[in-house]
């Protein structure tokens, strides 16, 4: 439903590199829709036995009892890697099937630095909120994330990049989305939280990533 206005933004990193002060793009999702989202084009296939996913996210939706999609990676038939704030306030990671849920502090109108790590070997999953790690939970040891899908922010696709529900959409601001195909240490994630930019994401690097914007999403460039 609704018309998709597609806009390609790339080469942004080049123009930013020339600026004196460090700049960063930020995605503003101003309202509830069933057609606004941003596709992230990864540097390599999401063919992973482990990962770290980080983002900075601010939303006022957590005041209500509503699902909020935070990250969706979908292949043709499966939700390969979804991150949700659930209707009951918990946070969920879903790797192609049932998820694992965490009790974390609520997202709010200020920016929260949210990271998520998972490793196939022992199946250890953990969130990191503003640099502090949650308990580890055992989740799908031996599983692998499959390549060949699309990563989007702002909507949850119930089929391959279609069938969005506005009541699950994201409203607010997302920036600094980075992904690695390995687990960063607690100390590294704490350093990222306070603004260190190393190590750069080897699956997504927010500084250079190509973004494909659909619908009503504003791409702001902000000074750091």
- Chain positions contacting a second copy, by CB under 8 A: 26, 28, 30-31, 58-60, 63, 102-104, 108-111, 122, 124, 127, 129, 132-138, 172-173, 185-187, 218, 220, 222-224
User: Based on CB atoms, which residue is closest to a second copy, 73 or 84?
Assistant: 84
Nearest approach, Cβ of residue 68 and a second copy (Å): 13
What's the CA gap between 128 and 105, in Å, rounded?
11
What's the CA gap between 113 and 35, in Å, rounded?
26
Burial 88-115 (b: 16+ CB within 10 A, else e): eeebbbbbbeebbbbebeebeeebbbbb
User: Based on CB atoms, which residue is closest to a second copy, 15 or 109?
Assistant: 109
Nearest approach, Cβ of residue 188 and a second copy (Å): 9
CB atoms within 10 A of CB 133: 15
User: Based on CB atoms, which residue is closest to a second copy, 66 or 132?
Assistant: 132
What's the CA gap between 197 and 199, in Å, rounded?
6
User: Based on CB atoms, which residue is closest to a second copy, 20 or 162?
Assistant: 20
Nearest approach, Cβ of residue 83 and a second copy (Å): 16
What's the CA gap between 86 and 107, in Å, rounded?
12
Strand-pair partners of 85: 68, 91
Nearest approach, Cβ of residue 22 and a second copy (Å): 11
Nearest approach, Cβ of residue 79 and a second copy (Å): 23
User: Based on CB atoms, which residue is closest to a second copy, 3 or 110?
Assistant: 110
């Amino acid at each position: 439903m609704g018309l998709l206005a597609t806009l390609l933004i790339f080469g942004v990193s080049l123009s930013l590199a020339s600026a004196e002060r460090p700049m960063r793009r930020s995605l503003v999702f101003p309202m509830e829709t069933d057609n606004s989202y941003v596709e992230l084009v990864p540097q390599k296939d999401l063919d992973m036995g482990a990962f770290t996913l980080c983002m900075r996210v601010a939303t006022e939706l957590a005041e209500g009892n509503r699902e909020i999609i935070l990250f969706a990676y979908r292949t043709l038939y499966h939700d390969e890697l979804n991150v949700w704030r659930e209707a009951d306030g918990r946070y969920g990671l879903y790797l192609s099937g049932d998820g694992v849920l965490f009790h974390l502090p609520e997202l709010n109108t200020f920016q929260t630095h949210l990271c998520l790590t998972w490793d196939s070997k022992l199946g250890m999953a953990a969130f990191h909120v503003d640099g502090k790690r949650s308990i580890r939970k055992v989740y799908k040891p031996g599983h692998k994330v499959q390549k060949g899908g699309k990563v989007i922010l702002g909507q949850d696709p119930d089929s391959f990049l279609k069938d969005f529900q506005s009541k699950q959409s994201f409203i607010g601001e997302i920036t600094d989305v980075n992904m690695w195909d390995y687990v960063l240490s607690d100390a590294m994630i704490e350093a990222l939280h306070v603004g260190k930019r190393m190590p750069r994401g080897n699956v997504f690097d927010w500084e250079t990533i190509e973004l494909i914007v659909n619908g009503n999403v504003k791409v702001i460039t902000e000074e750091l």
